[in-house]
Structure 1
C-alpha cells in the first residue's frame, strides 16, 4: 500500500480526477486530493488558466505545497498536467519521497534542483500527439536518461487530460493501460 498525494489539473478537481483517486483507493492505497481551486471546476483549459492566473499561479502552487505539510514524508507525489508542477517540486525537494507519477506533463529536472533524487522512482505518462505533452517530451526523455528509476509511457493519440473520465478528451483504453501501470508502480514502492 502506498500513500499518494494527487494534484488535479488546470480544470480543477473534476469528477474524473476524483474517480481516478477512487480507483487507486479501491486498490488499497491512501489517496489525498487537495482542491486548489476551492471547489471550482472549468469546462476548458483556457477557462482554468484564466482563473489560475487571476488567483496567482505561485499562490496556487504554495497551497499545493502546504497540503503536503500535514502528511508524513513517505508519499508518492502525483499530478495531472498543471498538478505535475507541484508533484515534481515535492518529489525532488522533500526528503522521504517514495515515488512520483506525472500524467500529461514533465518539467526539466533543473526547475527544482541539480538532479533527480537518488532512489525515487518516477513514471511519466502522456499522449504522443498532445501539443502540451509534446513540449514536455524533451524534459521527460532527459529524466529517463538521467536515472534508471524513471519510465516514460507514450500512448497513441493527441488528447490532453486523457485519463480524466469526466472530460471529452477521455480515452478509456489508454486510461485502462495507464491505471494498470500506475497500480503496478504503486505496488512496487
Structure 2
C-alpha cells in the first residue's frame, strides 16, 4: 500500500476526481484527496482559473501543503492540471517524497527548487494536442529527471481522466490508471 496525496484540477474536487481516487484505492492504496477550494466546484476550466486568480496560486500551493501535514513522509503526490502545482511542490520540497504523478499539467523543474530531488520519480500523462496540458514543460521535466516517464494520448481534451466531465475518455483513463498503478507497485 502506498500513501497518495491527489490534488484536484481547476474545476474543483469533482465526482470524477473522487472516482479516480477510488480506482487507486481499489488497488489497495491509501488516497487523500484534499479540497483546495473549500467545497467550491466550477462548470468550466476558465471559471476555475478565475477563482484561482482571486485566491492566488500561492494559496493553492499552501493549502496543498497544509492538507498533507498529517501524512507520513513517504508519499506519492499526484495532481490533475492545476493540482500538479501543489503535487510538484511537495514532491520537490517535502522530505520523503517517493514520486509525483502529473495528470494534464506540470510546472518547470525549477519552479519550487533549484534542482530535482534525488530518487523522486516522475510520471506525466497528457493528450498530445491539449492546449492547457503543458506538454512542452512535461517533456523538459522528463528530460531532466533520471527516473521519469511521459505518456501522451491522442486527442485535445484537457481533463480526460475526470469521469464527471464531457472530456472524459474511458479508454485513455484506463491506460492512465494502469500506468500509474505500475509506478505505485514499486512501493507496495
> Is TM more than 0.5 here?
yes
The residue aligned with 2:165 is 167
In structure 1, the partner of 2:8 is 8
More moved, 55-64 vs 77-86: 55-64
Please state which structure has a larger fraction of its residues in helix: 1
Aligned-residue offset at 1:111: 0.6
Give 1:26 deviation, angstroms: 0.6
Given that 1:116 and 1:143 are in contact with CA atoms closer than 8 Å, whether structure 2 keeps it comes out as: no
Give the Å deviation of 1:55.
2.4
Query: Which residue in the other structure is 2:177 paired with?
Result: 179
The residue correspondences of 1:8-157 to structure 2 (distance < 5 A) are 8-133=8-133, 136-157=134-155
Aligned-pair RMSD on alpha carbons? 1.0
Aligned 8 A contact 1:7 1:84 in 2: yes
- Runs (4+) of structure 1 exceeding 6 A deviation are none
Distance in 2 separating the partners of 1:5 and 1:160: 21
**Shift in Å, 1:57:** 2.5
TM-score, L = length of structure 1: 0.95
Q: Which runs of 5+ in 1 are unaligned?
A: none
* Unaligned ranges ≥5, structure 2: none
Question: TM-score, normalized by length of structure 2?
Answer: 0.96
Q: How many residues align?
A: 187
CA change 1:146–1:22 in 2 (3 A) is same
